[in-house]
Amino acid sequence: MAHQILLHTEVEPYQTIRPQLEALGEICQWNPLEPLPPAEVLRRIEGLYNFGHHRLDGAKMDLMPRLKVISNFGVGVDHIDLEAARQRGIPVANTPKLLDGATADMTFALLLAAARNLVRGDHFARSAAFTHYDPSFMLGQEVHGAVLGIVGLGSIGYQVARRALAFDMRVIYHNRQPRAQAAELGARYVPLDELLAQADFVTLNMPLTPQTRGMIGQRELALMKPTAVLVNAARGGVLDHQALYEALREGKIWAAGLDVTEPEPLPRNHPLLGLDNVIIMPHLGSATHQTRQAMAQRSVDNLRAGLEGKPLLSRVA
Ligand code: 8YV
């Protein structure tokens, strides 16, 4: 009998995914915002392919007693209860490394854009208000030669540091453990509070875990320089958005660039959306054709391996 696959997603998956899944077996799609598929269909499911960030917990896993693999499109798995999967003996796969370059590019794009008023400048240049050029307006913060503080020197953070070196930045970092790799970057390990106080630019590149949830709040933002720029390319949950709003409004930090928020999207009346010293992206860190294609391929290959009882190409739990 053909493999039974559950496609767990609110939206249509990236273009090359569905045909590949169809070649692997029979698909049942579950939009997590809609009612459950019939129990007898769920009972037959052997492989779960997840696209997006809807919660996958033990209760959902229990509906699928034959489930032998969960394959996630993306590296971050904070939406999946890994402990519940472990307890049930269900291996979980993700797509590490493939998106490091694209996400580091986006981190740097936000850093540059926030520092140099790219979005405000573009809006102004298009507007009726731009009637004459004034060399005194829209001055930004200098990027080259500044101090970059990276929170989370994993493989994405490492790529951010490499980009920073090309901008003659001095790199400091904070991580659970100092990283041997940091030496080749000339990056110095510092405690978080020291990083926040010293950095001209702070980028958040760590995973969202119980330890990193809410890591940057009012106290931490107060430690930053009033000229500093904060970039979040990790997960919205690592940052307190109300505290960020207040820090930006009161000029306690200079600007922010967010690729991610919590919730995602922010409620349309969220006060952050009314500030012009924050740039907000709709979670585009890995959103290039090339990276999405690589992630699609890896995640389908992971699912295939799990269905065939072979070792997963990139197993996270
Ligand atoms: C993905 C991401 O696009 O990989 C991750 O953890 O945040 C993004 O690169 C996303 O997870 C897919 O929905």
Residues 119-159 have pLDDT tens digits of 999 999 999 999 999 999 999 999 999 999 999 999 999 99
Query: Average pLDDT in the 249-258 region?
Result: 98
> pLDDT above 90 covers what percent of the chain?
99
C-alpha 65 chain-centroid distance: 31
Tokens 């390990």 belong to 189
Which of 8, 53, 116, 235 is catalytic? The answer is 235
Decide if 314 is inside a domain.
no
Same domain? 154 vs 230: yes
Decide if 313 is inside a domain.
no
Same domain? 237 vs 153: yes
β partners of residue 189: 173
Q: What is the pLDDT of residue 180?
A: 93
Decide if 69 is inside a domain.
yes
C-alpha 166 chain-centroid distance: 23
List the alpha helices (DSSP H) in 153-240. 155-166, 192-198, 218-223
Decide if 241 is inside a domain.
yes
Helix (H, G, I), strand (E, B), or coil: what is residue 272? helix
Same domain? 67 vs 184: no
Same domain? 25 vs 56: yes
Q: Whose CA is nearest to atom 6 of ligand 1?
A: 76
Same domain? 57 vs 109: no
Q: What is the pLDDT of residue 309?
A: 96
Same domain? 60 vs 124: no
Structure tokens at 69: 């693999």
Residue 163: active-site member = no
The answer, yes or no, to whether any atom of ligand 1 lies below 6 A from the CB of 157, is: no
User: Which ligand 1 atom is at minimum distance from the Cα of 291?
Assistant: 9
Report how far apart the first and last C-alpha atoms of the chain are (Å, whole number).
Answer: 28
Among residues 251, 210, 205, the alpha carbon closest in space to that of 228 is found at: 251
Residues in CB range of 107: below 8 A, 6 or more apart:
156, 160, 163, 203, 205, 231, 233, 259, 285
Give the Å distance between the CA of 136 and the centre of ligand 1: 40
Domain span at residue 22? 3-96+290-307
Q: Whose CA is nearest to atom 13 of ligand 1?
A: 52
Same domain? 162 vs 261: yes
Same domain? 134 vs 86: no
Same domain? 129 vs 264: yes
Residue 283: active-site member = yes
Residue 270: active-site member = no
Check if the beta carbon of residue 181 is closer than 8 Å to that of residue 158.
yes
Among residues 256, 286, 284, the alpha carbon closest in space to that of 156 is found at: 286
Q: Residue 30 region, left (φ>0) first, then alpha (ψ -120 to 50), else beta?
A: beta
How far apart are the C-alpha atoms of 101 and 261, rounded to whole Å? 21
pTM, two decimals, is 0.97
Same domain? 126 vs 210: yes
Q: What is the pLDDT of residue 216?
A: 98
The answer, yes or no, to whether any atom of ligand 1 lies below 6 A from the CB of 154, is: no
Q: Whose CA is nearest to atom 2 of ligand 1?
A: 74
Same domain? 73 vs 26: yes
On the question of pLDDT at 1 being above 80, the answer is no
Order of strands across the sheet that contains 69-73: 25-30, 3-9, 47-51, 69-73, 92-93
Decide if 303 is inside a domain.
yes
Q: Whose CA is nearest to atom 11 of ligand 1?
A: 74
Per the structure, the count of domains in the chain is 2
Tokens 């998956």 belong to 13
pLDDT mean across residues, the chain: 98
Domain at 29, CATH number: 3.40.50.720
Check if the beta carbon of residue 180 is closer than 8 Å to that of residue 202.
no
The answer, yes or no, to whether any atom of ligand 1 lies below 6 A from the CB of 286, is: yes
Among residues 197, 165, 205, 190, the alpha carbon closest in space to that of 285 is found at: 205
C-alpha 106 chain-centroid distance: 10
Decide if 236 is inside a domain.
yes
Decide if 58 is inside a domain.
yes
Same domain? 130 vs 178: yes
On the question of pLDDT at 274 being above 90, the answer is yes
What does the pLDDT look like over 185-198, one tens digit per residue?
999 999 999 999 99
Angle 258-8-96 from CA coordinates, rounded to 5°? 50
User: CA of 278: how far to CAs of 12, 130, 222, 250, 271, in Å?
Assistant: 30, 21, 17, 13, 11
